[in-house]
Amino acid sequence: RSPLPVSGGGGGEPLAQALAGVLSEQQLAESERQILADKAAKGAAAVESAAASLASHDETVARSRAEFDGHAATSAELQAKLAASRPRAEALEAEAARLGEEQRAAAAKLEEGVAARSGGSMNERLRALMEAKRSGSIPGLVGRLGSPRPLPPP
């Protein structure tokens, strides 16, 4: 600031007006400086908050990426295990089909055996034995066999 010239005598009023104008401009400048300082402080706080938020976001992204990579590795391992187990599963399915066929054949054979041993087939066997006797293919068969019972002592 430059000092205002002071003249002696009756010119005090313009000097007071000039001084008041300068003071008013100074107050206005000080007020604007304070407003700008407040805005700068708010801006710095916003930048600081944004930087902290960005750092937190970066940490979250890094954790998520690591978790994703872990899941991707696990998924790859599981896919490899699944691919490796497919031939075994196919072999087991083929074996199960083969055993199912065997079981059905055995059940049919059992059913035939049960039918062959039923009461009606006893006559068929007896007829077959008597026919074999008549044809001479089994000598020594005499008549029909009855129920076994103890023989009397000689």
Torsion-angle region of 148 (φ positive above 0: left; ψ -120 to 50: alpha; else: beta): beta
Mean pLDDT of 113-118: 70
- Under the banding of pLDDT at 50, 70 and 90, the label for residue 40 is very high
- Under the banding of pLDDT at 50, 70 and 90, the label for residue 125 is confident
The predicted pLDDT at position 142 comes to: 62
Mean pLDDT of 62-90: 93
Model confidence at 113: pLDDT above 80: no
Model confidence at 1: pLDDT above 60: no
Residue type, 20: A
The predicted pLDDT at position 122 comes to: 64
Which 3 state secondary structure label does DSSP give 58?
A: helix
Question: Cα separations (Å) of 146 from 53, 56, 127, 150?
Answer: 105, 101, 14, 12
Spatial contact of 129 and 141, defined as CB atoms under 8 Å apart: yes
Spatial contact of 134 and 143, defined as CB atoms under 8 Å apart: no
The predicted pLDDT at position 154 comes to: 75
Mean pLDDT of 40-64: 95
Model confidence at 11: pLDDT above 80: no
